[in-house]
Amino acid sequence: MRPLLVLSLALSISGCGARSAATTSTTPTPASPAATTSDTSDDSATSAQAPCTHWDPADDRTVAPADVAAPPASARDGGDGLRFCIVRRGTSTERPTRESHVRVHYTGWTTDGQMFDSSYARGEPARFGVTEVIRGWTDSLLHMSVGQVRRVWIPQELAYAGREGMPAGMLVFDIELVAIDR
């Protein structure tokens, strides 16, 4: 069965909180650097700004983050109500284009913390065209570099727009851009 995200989307489409009190950190570690809140499209950072959050790939990626209910005030503005936080810098400068196909790991939650889809839970990244997903994803992916992890808060208008049978309201995703497959 294809992931809910890919199947349904192809038919139509800081102060970020840590995952638990035990993993809360505002200092990036060498294994999980975080970018700063001034950057809207890349991984550049200045040391005078606080990082978004600690992100540990060893954590259970299906557990809702502490800030799932709403974006923190320090989340960046992605336009049209989309908010995001870079929780891990990319490992490359390569970015997808609208024509690209990408491989991503992700988890999606409703703002009450209910997970509705996760490639992590399936154990393998999803693959799709950058424009074959909801607009909030397309807008995010176009500004991500390979290896980057973003937490995005996507308003309903940039997500499923109230489509029956789909998650409603603002949705929250942790998105890891694994690779760009041209």
Q: In the chain, what are the domain boundaries? A: 4-32+49-181
pLDDT of residue 6: 39
Global pTM exceeds 0.85: no
Residue 84 exposed, middle or buried by CB count within 10 Å (0-12, 13-18, 19+): buried
Q: In this predicted structure, what is the pLDDT of residue 73?
A: 85
Q: What is the per-residue pLDDT for 5?
A: 41
Residue 60 has a pLDDT of 86
Averaged over successive runs of 10 residues, the pLDDT of the chain (182 residues) comes to 40 37 31 35 39 67 88 92 94 96 97 96 97 97 96 97 94 97 85
CATH class of 4-32+49-181: alpha beta
Given a contact cutoff of 8 angstroms between Cβ atoms, the answer to whether 126 and 103 are in contact is yes
